[in-house]
Each structure stands twice: as C-alpha cells, then as structure tokens.
Structure 1
Amino acid sequence: MQDDDFSLFQAELRGVKPLKHDRADTGKAKPDRARLATLRQAASVRVESIKVDGLSDQFVIDVGAEDPLYWAANGVQEGQMRKLKLGQIPFDGSLDLHGMNVEKARDTLWEFLAEAAKFEVRCVRVTHGKAVRMDGRKPMIKSHVNTWLRQHPQVLGFTSCLAKHGGTGAVYVMLKRTMMDGRDE
C-alpha cells in the first residue's frame, strides 16, 4: 500500500523542478530607518528654506477696523469653531504684527505658522491690530491677515478674539496637527 502512495506521489511531482535556494520570500524589505530619517530631515529643511509662501495679495478682502473676522475650512466642525470663538481652545503661541509693513508681516506670519506646525500647536493668537488709516481706507494688516490665513495650508479656521485677548484686533487661529492626537478635520 505504501509503495502505491509513493509511486502516486512521484507521478504527481513529475515535471516539477526543485528550488535552487532554501529561503522564503517574506515580502517587502524592512525600511532603512536611517535613510528615512535623513529624507525626513532633508524635507523639513527644504520647506523652511523656501521663501515663496503662496500667500497671495492679489485679492485682498478689505475689512473694517471693528469688523469681526471668522472663517472655517471645509470639513471643520461647527462645534470646534464655536469653542474657538468662545476662547475655549487655549492658544499656545502669540504673534503681534503691529507696526510692520505688509511684506514683513507676511514673512513673520508664515514663519510663525511654520514653527507652530512643527511643534504640533493646536491654536495660536495673531494680533493684527485695527488701525484706522488716515486716508480713510480699511486697516491694511488686518485685511491682509484675513486673506492670508484663508490661503495657508495649516489653518483650519480663525475667528476674532474675546475682548480680553484683543477683540477685533486679533484672531484665534486653529491649526492642523499631523502627528499627535489624530485628525483635526
């Protein structure tokens, strides 16, 4: 009986070629952690060195000195924006743009938001002021900040602050966090 089993087995294996190696293919190779760390570092350095920030002045939204500011990106929950507006999300950084020209304010704001994103900060305050201009036109820095924040990729939303934090002369800005605490949207 066993001879029959063996001959049947040999018949089934006819034409099969033996393997040339004795190692199994376990799928993808493990990532080279040192190489990945180098690539991540290079990517972060590259981002910081780019001065073209994508914040356009082509269509600045003019706002009045006392106009409250409010904007939320698509998908941001109303409840989160309500908490932001009520000052219930603590801000972990603050930037004052008083006395700066538009270019200096743009560069400073861009660098400040990049730094906040690097440290996974959830909320910051940006004081833009509400200077009423002598020529009667709308406040320049406030109008630009209102426009720039809508364009910045890290900004989920912003709203004018409570009076104790600057009122309509400042905004709370809610930022995306990429690594900690999961998704924000």
Structure 2
Amino acid sequence: MQDDEIDLFAAQMRGVRRIQVDIADTGKPRADRLQVASRRHNAIQPNDRVKVDGLSDQFVIDVGAEDELYWARDGVQESQMRKLKAGQIEFEGSLDLHGMRVEQAREILWEFLAEAAKHEVRCARVTHGKAARVDGKRPMIKSHVNTWLRQHPQVLGFASCTPRHGGTGAIYLLLKRTMMEGRDE
C-alpha cells in the first residue's frame, strides 16, 4: 500500500472501535425434537369432553405457515377490510393460542368471542402461530382458526396482521356489534 492509501484508510477508520465480543448470536436455541413431537401428538389427541359450540372440524382449510389469511362475510365494506388488513383499526382485545391442543384452542377461542361480544369489541387480535410441522403438514392451529372463524356468526372478517403485530402468525378480527355503540360501520 502507498502512504496516501494508508492515510486515507486511517482517516476513514477514525472513531471506529474494535468489537470486544467475538461470539456470534445465532438466535434462539433449537427446540428439542422430542418435546416438539410430544406437543404435536398431544395437540391432535381428542378430548373426552365434547362441547357443542357450532364450530365444525369436518372440513378444515389447510393453510401454509407463511400464507396470509383474509376473509370477509358478504356485505362487509371493502374499505373496512382494507383498514383492517393495514392494521388501521385499533384492536381492543388479544388472544394467544400458541402451544395449545386443537380442542383447547377451540374452547378458548369460543369463550374469547363470547366475551368480545359481551363487551361490544369491534376489533381483536388472535395469535395462532405458524409453526411448520416436522412431518411437513400444514400448521394445525392456524388452519383450524381460519376454518372456525368463517363459521362464527359474530365474525365479519379477518386478515393477517402487519409484521409489527405478528405478521402471518396472527390475525386481526372484525366483529359484529349490537346496539351499544350504534350501527356497525
């Protein structure tokens, strides 16, 4: 190197400090395969208690881990759905279904929707996760939630969240209100 290149390099490096840590952060540790397999097995085990809630599992719409979810009931304004999808409607409640068995998630989702109706909630967020399964099949909770919400009379529509609220691992839910705050928009 020539002296002027060395001087130029030194000038460019002025104020730069050497990194003291020489260990790379590789993210969160890998999940234990046996624990994951056990959770998946438990998630599909039927529960002895059968609760009739109007949500059918006869035909589950399989969706991929990164698939965006979007659905609107007939008559729902497109402008409302655009706002929902953009995360412009503030959600008033949130539910996390991570790590639950399918039947447990179904029961908790049903109770959450009943509570939301009671309190006249307009928009809520449901985090279903998007765990890609070891056996190559589609995410179970995400697929079931996608199917159940289309059947629930309180649900006007839903869309995958923006990245700051969970991306394709969560959805914004647009819900019916009765007369507490006037007509639905």
- TM-score, L = length of structure 1: 0.72
Q: Structure 1: give runs of 5+ residues left out of the alignment.
A: 1-50
Residue 107 of structure 2 is matched in structure 1 by 107
Residue 9 of structure 1 is matched in structure 2 by none
Residue 82 of structure 1 is matched in structure 2 by 82
Give the Å deviation of 1:101: 0.5
- Determine the C-alpha separation between the residues in 1 that align with 2:146 and 2:134: 21
Question: How many pairs align?
Answer: 135
- Determine the C-alpha separation between the residues in 1 that align with 2:100 and 2:156: 25
AA in 2 matched with 1:159: A
Q: Does 1:173 align with 2:173?
A: yes
Give the Å deviation of 1:72: 0.1
2:158 aligned counterpart, secondary structure: strand
Give the Å deviation of 1:184: 1.9
Give the Å deviation of 1:79: 0.1
Give the Å deviation of 1:180: 2.3
AA in 2 matched with 1:57: D
Q: CA RMSD in A?
A: 0.9
AA in 2 matched with 1:104: Q
Give the Å deviation of 1:127: 0.2
Deviations 1:89-117 (A, max 9, x none): 00000000000000000000000010000
Q: Does 1:59 align with 2:67?
A: no
Residue 161 of structure 1 is matched in structure 2 by 161
Q: Percent identity?
A: 81
Q: Counterparts of 1:131-150 in structure 2 under 5 Å?
A: 131-150=131-150
Give the Å deviation of 1:173: 0.1
Residue 48 of structure 1 is matched in structure 2 by none
- Runs of 4+ in structure 1 off by over 6 angstroms are none
- Determine the C-alpha separation between the residues in 2 that align with 1:60 and 1:118: 28
Residue 68 of structure 1 is matched in structure 2 by 68
